[in-house]
């Protein structure tokens, strides 16, 4: 057989997951000097992962990344095989037979646990659930969020916590021209929330927001951002952190907190969003519904940039009606693929999947959050995927077993034999067009279909 990666013997790659890291991996392969056919397999009928169902609806600019993904999908050697779950509809073992290599770019689909009593009481939700729900993800369509409460608490001070608290703080007018799911907008329209508390276990110099996201709290039409000046007092180590030249983001964040602490309360605004620091969640109290959150006052301990939160045994309580845990994501295991239980990632060496003891697993690769953990912005995944593809392309000799592989055509026949309805990119484009059409009269960029059957029914 001719050399692998040539017109007569193209490199056949299956990518599992159609979020940013999947598309960036496809882009790197298509742009390489090797002839590659790329098949992206996606669990939902809709592609784009967190860009469609994670990025906040009021951050439409971030969704422009989709324009590039559409161009990639238009390449002649690209297939989207959507509505197909790897590990259920088709196994990793089967993909290793149909393709020369499989790249897992399936993201971090679940949340880290707080591991405190009361975490599972009614009214205590994960950020993933709420974000998925307002973004119209079919998995979360049927969830209910009781916003008839006075007080909401968000645990965590990262950008997901910023998204959740901002969506709760905004008015319907501020959201109605976004692609927020209609069912979520209807519930938010009836919200009775008066106070939103965003709780950090460390101090104001360690919050993980980015400035653009935090700045938005100063521009909300019906919500005052509130920070007590006394909460902004820093220990020496935190002062050193902020003085460090490279630490511009935290310096800006601290500056914004300072600005908010000086704002005059606008009594015309009905909501208050409190940013609170050095408070560690200890217990959620309630019978069936959550009623109170017990927080332990923390102090920081350790060198600059390595400070951790240490409890002081002194606690405070907040009456709370609804709570969101936004303390980071973790991946879920896939049958047939090594998994690092503690980190919630696939163990790997620069994208080459390894066993937990470090031994490289032939044919398997990974990129994105399932490779490195849930960090960075959309664009961070481009470099991450590119590193993986460089490793894969330097392994060509190893991947060339001399056995003929059939790629997508063999996947299609396996799925057809199992009566599994798969969706290609043209079919997805019909759903896409219809969503945009339905959104238009409402002044929305699109109205998302939130049930899989609805999406499939649109395809002609
Ligand atoms: P994150 O940035 O890692 O923030 C997690 C937060 O949870 C931190 O404040 C962390 O505090 C806290 N935390 C962790 N474990 C905790 C515990 N046991 N008790 C109390 N607090 C705890 O994670 P994320 O907000 O989920 O965001 C994930 C990634 O997506 C980030 O890179 C983020 O920037 C990105 N993202 C970007 C955007 C955007 O660009 N607009 C939007 C959404 C998400 P410590 O610092 O003390 O660990």
pLDDT in 10s for each residue of the chain, 460 residues: 688 999 999 999 999 999 999 999 999 999 999 999 999 999 999 999 999 999 999 999 999 999 999 999 999 999 999 999 999 999 999 999 999 999 999 999 888 999 999 999 999 999 999 999 999 999 999 999 999 999 999 999 999 999 999 999 999 999 999 999 999 999 999 999 999 999 999 999 999 999 999 999 999 999 999 999 999 999 999 999 999 999 999 999 999 999 999 999 999 999 999 999 999 999 999 999 999 999 999 999 999 999 999 999 999 999 999 999 999 999 999 999 999 999 999 999 999 999 999 999 999 999 999 999 999 999 999 999 999 999 999 999 999 888 889 999 999 999 999 999 999 999 999 999 999 999 999 999 999 999 999 999 999 9
Report CA(157)–ligand 1 centroid distance (Å).
6
Q: Dig out the tokens for 365 from the structure.
A: 């690769």
Q: Which atom of ligand 1 is nearest to the CA of 376?
A: 32
- Phi and psi at residue 386, in whole multiples of 5°? -65, -40
Report CA(226)–ligand 1 centroid distance (Å).
20
Regarding the beta carbon of 164 and ligand 1, being less than 6 Å apart is answered no
- Phi and psi at residue 272, in whole multiples of 5°? -125, 135
Mutate which of 158, 201, 310 to test ligand 1's pocket (most atoms within 8 Å of Cβ)? 158
Report CA(328)–ligand 1 centroid distance (Å).
5
Q: Structural domain boundaries of the chain?
A: 11-109+331-423, 110-327
Regarding the beta carbon of 160 and ligand 1, being less than 6 Å apart is answered yes
Regarding the beta carbon of 368 and ligand 1, being less than 6 Å apart is answered no
Regarding the beta carbon of 211 and ligand 1, being less than 6 Å apart is answered no
Report CA(207)–ligand 1 centroid distance (Å).
9
Report CA(208)–ligand 1 centroid distance (Å).
6
Q: Which fold has domain 110-327?
A: FAD/NAD(P)-binding domain (3.50.50)
Regarding the beta carbon of 228 and ligand 1, being less than 6 Å apart is answered no
Q: Which atom of ligand 1 is nearest to the CA of 157?
A: 9
Q: Dig out the tokens for 434 from the structure.
A: 């219809």
Q: What is the torsional sign of CA 56, 62, 66, 67?
A: positive
Q: Which atom of ligand 1 is nearest to the CA of 308?
A: 47
Question: Within 10 A of 318 (CB to CB), how many other CB atoms are there?
Answer: 17
Regarding the beta carbon of 275 and ligand 1, being less than 6 Å apart is answered no
Contact (Cβ atoms closer than 8 angstroms) between residue 310 and residue 338: no
Which pTM does this prediction carry?
0.96
DSSP secondary structure letter of residue 87: T
Q: Which fold has domain 11-109+331-423?
A: Rossmann fold (3.40.50)
What residues form DSSP beta bridges with 103?
A: 15, 365
Alpha-carbon distance of 386 to 26, in angstroms, equals: 9
Regarding the beta carbon of 281 and ligand 1, being less than 6 Å apart is answered yes
Q: Dig out the tokens for 392 from the structure.
A: 């894969």
Query: Helix 20-31 and helix 65-73: axis angle, to 10°?
Result: 50
Nearest CA to ligand 1 atom 36: 159
Contact (Cβ atoms closer than 8 angstroms) between residue 311 and residue 285: no
Regarding the beta carbon of 308 and ligand 1, being less than 6 Å apart is answered no
Q: Dig out the tokens for 171 from the structure.
A: 């008015």
- End-to-end Cα spacing for the chain: 40
Regarding the beta carbon of 202 and ligand 1, being less than 6 Å apart is answered yes
Regarding the beta carbon of 111 and ligand 1, being less than 6 Å apart is answered no
* Pairing assessment for the beta strands 11-16 and 36-42 based on DSSP bridges: parallel
Task: Give the helix/strand (H/E) hosting 301.
Answer: strand 290-301
- CA-based nearest residue to 53, from 111, 129, 104, 113: 129
């Amino acid at each position: 057989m001719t050399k692998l990666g040539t017109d007569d013997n193209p490199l056949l790659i299956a990518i599992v997951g159609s979020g940013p890291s999947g598309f960036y991996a496809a882009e790197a392969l298509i742009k390489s000097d090797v002839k590659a056919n790329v098949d992206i397999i996606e669990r939902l009928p809709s592609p784009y992962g967190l860009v469609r169902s994670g990025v906040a609806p009021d951050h439409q600019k971030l969704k422009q990344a989709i324009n590039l993904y559409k161009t990639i999908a238009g390449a002649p050697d690209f297939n989207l095989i959507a509505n197909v779950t790897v590990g259920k509809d088709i196994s990793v073992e089967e993909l290793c037979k149909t393709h020369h290599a499989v790249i897992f770019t399936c993201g971090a689909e679940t949340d880290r646990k707080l591991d405190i009593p009361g975490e599972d009481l009614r009214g205590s939700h994960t950020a993933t659930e709420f974000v998925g729900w307002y973004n119209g993800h079919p998995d979360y369509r049927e969830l209910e969020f009781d916003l008839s409460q006075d007080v909401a608490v968000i645990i965590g001070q990262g950008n997901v916590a910023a998204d959740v608290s901002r969506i709760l703080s905004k008015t319907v007018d501020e959201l109605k021209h976004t692609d927020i799911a209609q069912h979520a907008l209807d519930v938010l329209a009836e919200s009775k929330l008066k106070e939103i508390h965003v709780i950090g276990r460390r101090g104001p110099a360690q919050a993980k927001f980015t400035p653009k996201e935090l700045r938005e709290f100063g521009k909300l039409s019906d919500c005052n951002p509130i920070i007590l000046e006394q909460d902004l007092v820093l220990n020496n180590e935190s002062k050193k952190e902020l003085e460090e030249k490279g630490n511009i983001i935290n310096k800006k964040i601290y500056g914004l907190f300072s600005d908010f602490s000086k704002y005059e309360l606008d009594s015309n605004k009905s909501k208050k969003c409190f940013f609170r620091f050095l408070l560690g969640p200890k217990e959620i109290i309630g019978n069936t519904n959550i009623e109170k959150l017990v927080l332990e006052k923390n102090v920081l301990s350790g060198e600059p940039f390595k400070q951790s939160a240490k409890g002081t045994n002194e606690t405070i309580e907040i009456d709370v009606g609804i709570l969101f845990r936004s303390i980071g994501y973790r991946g879920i295991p896939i049958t047939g693929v090594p998994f690092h239980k503690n980190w919630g990632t696939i163990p790997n060496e620069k994208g080459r999947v390894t066993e937990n003891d470090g031994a490289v697993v032939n044919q398997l690769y990974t990129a994105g959050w399932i490779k490195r953990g849930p960090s960075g912005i959309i664009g961070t995944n481009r470099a991450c995927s590119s590193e993986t593809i460089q490793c894969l392309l330097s392994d060509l000799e190893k991947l060339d077993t001399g056995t003929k592989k059939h790629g997508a055509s063999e996947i299609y026949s396996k799925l057809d034999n199992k009566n599994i309805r798969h969706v290609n990119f043209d079919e997805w484009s019909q759903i896409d067009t219809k969503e945009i059409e339905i959104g238009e009269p409402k002044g929305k960029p699109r109205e998302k279909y939130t049930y899989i059957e609805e999406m499939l029914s649109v395809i002609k």
